[in-house]
Structure 1
Amino acid sequence: MTTLSTPRTTPPPRANRIRWSIPARLRKSILVTHVASAGIWIGIDVVSIITVAIGWVREGEARTSAYRALADYFVVPLLVAALIAGAICLVTGLLLGMATKWGLVRYWWVAVKLVLNVAALAMMLAFLGPFTELASGEQPLEDIWFVSFLAATAMSFLSFAMVISVFKPWGRVRK
């Protein structure tokens, strides 16, 4: 008995799709850099939250000293380090999106991660002025709440991005 089979044909490539072919070793290096930069960013957020919390539980002069140390030695260097880690995370995420089957906005979970990363970076840039005013002494130390707000918000964004990276929910953007 003979069976009739139709030859498999591959669909023609889409003209609007950008996909680079990169070697597996390079792709894995980019992926490691992406994960490491996100981990560094989360670590910076944890350090910021803990340092502000230490100041909150203190009273009087001890609180002022903790906030002064945070403003003088941590705020601007942590912000710069977080901006660098966030930018690296964004760039490597874009490279991975263009070089893998997931695409940049082909799947909802990738698009959401992209939006979260851009939103977190925009928030850090929006708080750049108050951070430098705090570090220079132009802003009262009691107004340090935004350091923990920014860190907690970024940490929640990044944690959510990590979860959706693992579970990959929601399917394709368009069929």
Structure 2
Amino acid sequence: MSTQVTSRPASPPPPNRVRWRVPVRLRKSILVTHIVSAGAWIGIDVLAVVLVAIGWARAGDDRATVYQALADFFVVPLLLTALIAGVVCLITGLLLGLATKWALLRYWWVAVKLALNVVACAMMLAFLGPITELSTGEQPLADIWFVSFLAATALALLSFATVLSVFKPWGRVAPQAA
């Protein structure tokens, strides 16, 4: 009597399977770093919006003084810090996507957050040149609009990303096979 062994077809992985297992403490450390870097980034953007608004509220020479101080002490050093915070937020977000059930492109809210982070970092890189020209005096102080645009847009994007993190809307990117 012979027995025939039949192999079963490979079943799809469980829906919440994590691709990269990390110890709980490391995952929590990455999560804390992600949250802190996002918070720092938001704080820098709030500061930028407030300083530009103060400059707009001033008249004449006061406005030029505020904008020059903004260019000298805030724009370049803190926007570079914001860029670093953005990159840290991006890297930790990628690590969390690989190390948690949410994955990188499994859920819409995660994919949108990833896209928002990349767009915000790219905006900072694109505006860093003109902002540096402003701080060196190569560009007139009246051209401060891009600082306010950058700060307000980044603040809106980061606030939306925070809302996505809390509410986790829209479900899966691709419906799960039955």
Q: State the TM-score, normalized to the length of structure 1.
A: 0.90
Percent identity, aligned pairs only, is 72
Matched, 1:38 2:38: yes
Query: Are 1:80 and 2:80 matched, yes or no?
Result: yes
Q: Does 1:13 align with 2:17?
A: no
User: Which residue number corresponds to residue 89 of structure 1?
Assistant: 89
State the partner residue of 2:139. Answer: 139
CA distance in 1, matches of 2:112, 2:118: 10
Q: Equivalents in 2 of 1:165, 1:75: separation in Å? A: 28
Once residues 12 and 39 of structure 1 are traced to their aligned partners in structure 2, the CA distance between those partners, rounded to angstroms, is: 38
Aligned twin of 2:66: 66
1:23 corresponds to which residue?
Answer: 23
Aligned counterparts of 2:32 and 2:129: Cα–Cα separation in 1: 32
Q: Is structure 2 residue 146 aligned with structure 1 residue 149?
A: no
Shift of residue 18 of structure 1? 7.4
Task: Note if contact 2:55-2:63 (Cα within 8 Å) is conserved in structure 1.
Answer: yes
CA distance in 2, matches of 1:71, 1:104: 37
Distance 2:68 2:47 in 1: 16
RMSD: 1.6
Distance, in Å, in 2 between the alignment partners of 1:12 and 1:173 is 17
Q: Which runs of 4+ in 1 moved over 2 A?
A: 10-14
Q: Are 1:57 and 2:96 matched, yes or no?
A: no
Where 1:101 maps in the other structure, the secondary structure is coil
Which residue does 2:7 correspond to in 1? none
For structure 2, list consecutive stretches of 5 or more residues without a partner in the other structure. Answer: 1-9
Q: Which amino acid counterpart does residue 87 of structure 1 have in structure 2?
A: V
The answer for the alignment partner of 1:167 in structure 2 is 167
Cα distance, 1:13 vs structure 2: 3.1
**Whole-angstrom CA distance in 2 between matches of 1:75 and 1:25:** 36
CA distance in 1, matches of 2:134, 2:18: 44
How far apart are residue 79 of structure 1 and its match? 1.1
Mark the runs of 5 or more structure 1 residues left unpaired by the alignment: 1-9
Q: Give the distance between the partners of 1:60 and 1:132, measured in 2 at CA.
A: 23
| Cα separation, 1, equivalents of 2:81 and 2:104 | 25
Q: What is the TM-score normalised by the length of structure 2?
A: 0.89
Per-residue deviation, 1:11: 4.4
Name 2:109's counterpart in structure 1. Answer: 109
CA distance in 2, matches of 1:55, 1:167: 36
Please give the alpha-carbon distance, in whole angstroms, between the structure 1 residues aligned to 2:73 and 2:118: 26
Report the Cα distance in structure 2 between the residues aligned to 1:132 and 1:77, rounded to whole angstroms: 10
Aligned residues of 2:18 and 2:101 also touching (Cα < 8 A): no
Q: Does 1:125 align with 2:128?
A: no
Partner amino acid for 1:133? Answer: E
Aligned residue identity for 1:50: V
